Amino acid sequence: MGDRSLVVWSLERVAELHGDPTPQVYARLFALNPEVEALFMLDSQRGVKGAMLGHVIDTLLDLAGPRLYGANMIYAEMTNHSGIGVPPAQFVTFFDVVKEEFRALIGAEWTAEVEAAWDDTLEDVKRVVAKVEAAQAA
């Protein structure tokens, strides 16, 4: 099991090195999932993208730390997004994209220990998504 404080460190390190990573994260997301970009066609000022990434970062901070609301945040957002046709698997994809872009932004400072911490935290995301999917299917 990874030291989840390293997730917090990596989130802070990206901010220190690059400021707001919203453009880079969404560039990666749209490159991997071009169909998702259409959902943001009215977000010309990047406010929605920035807010969504902020929610993801808050969720990661909680899952890596006190674990008070992260699972509920994922559940609520999955429910909110289902109305516009966002499949549950897209939530896992988005968290994976954040990890991959943050790894790229941190570069050589990203260690095997940081990778393990992210992997553990993202397993929590996958468990929540699977639980919500199962509940919706029932």
Query: What is the residue-wise DSSP string for 93-109?
Result: HHHHHHHHHHHHHHGGG
- Tell me the per-residue pLDDT of 60-104, one tens digit each, with 9 for 90 and over: 999 999 999 999 999 999 888 887 888 888 889 999 999 999 999
Check residue 43 and give its pLDDT.
Answer: 73
Which H or E run includes 79? helix 70-82
- Tell me the per-residue pLDDT of 110-124, one tens digit each, with 9 for 90 and over: 999 999 999 999 999
CATH of domain 5-137: 1.10.490.10
